């Protein structure tokens, strides 16, 4: 007996259900890691901007994905997570824009 709305095999998934559970967090960590690597290469402004962008990606992902598909991005309630991720992301991007263009030299 075929299921209503089913395909050839009776299975039809929405796109978020096909994503691996921790893929959003892996993308956020990848962007953050690239930002850290960029900072280590003495590109402070761009690296900090990438870290801020990763927080913005986390906020948008948390807002769009349901609680059961958000994986490790779901820490508190959805509204609080989105507020914290987006707020911190905007703050870091704004602070990154104030970092002077001169290289950071110790010594």
Q: What's the pLDDT score for residue 14?
A: 56
pLDDT tens sequence for the chain (107 residues)? 555 555 555 555 555 566 788 899 999 999 999 999 999 998 888 999 999 999 999 999 999 999 888 889 999 999 999 999 999 999 999 999 987 776 666 66
pLDDT at 13: 54
**What b/e readout covers 68-99, taking b as 16+ CB neighbours within 10 angstroms?**
ebbbebbeeeeeebbebbbebbeebbeebeee
Q: In degrees, to the nearest 5, what angle opens at C-alpha 40 toward C-alphas 36 and 46?
A: 60
The domain segmentation of the chain, as residue ranges, is: 19-98
pLDDT for the residue numbered 2: 53
């Amino acid at each position: 007996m075929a299921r209503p709305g089913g395909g050839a095999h009776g299975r039809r998934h929405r796109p978020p259900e096909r994503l691996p559970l921790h893929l959003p967090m892996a993308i956020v960590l990848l962007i953050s890691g690239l930002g850290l690597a960029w900072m280590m290469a003495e590109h402070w402004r761009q690296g900090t901007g990438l870290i801020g962008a990763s927080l913005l990606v986390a906020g948008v992902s948390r807002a769009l994905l349901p609680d059961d598909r958000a994986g490790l991005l779901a820490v508190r309630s959805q509204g609080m997570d989105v507020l914290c991720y987006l707020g911190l992301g905007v703050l870091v991007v704004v602070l990154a824009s104030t970092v002077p263009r001169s290289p950071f030299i110790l010594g």
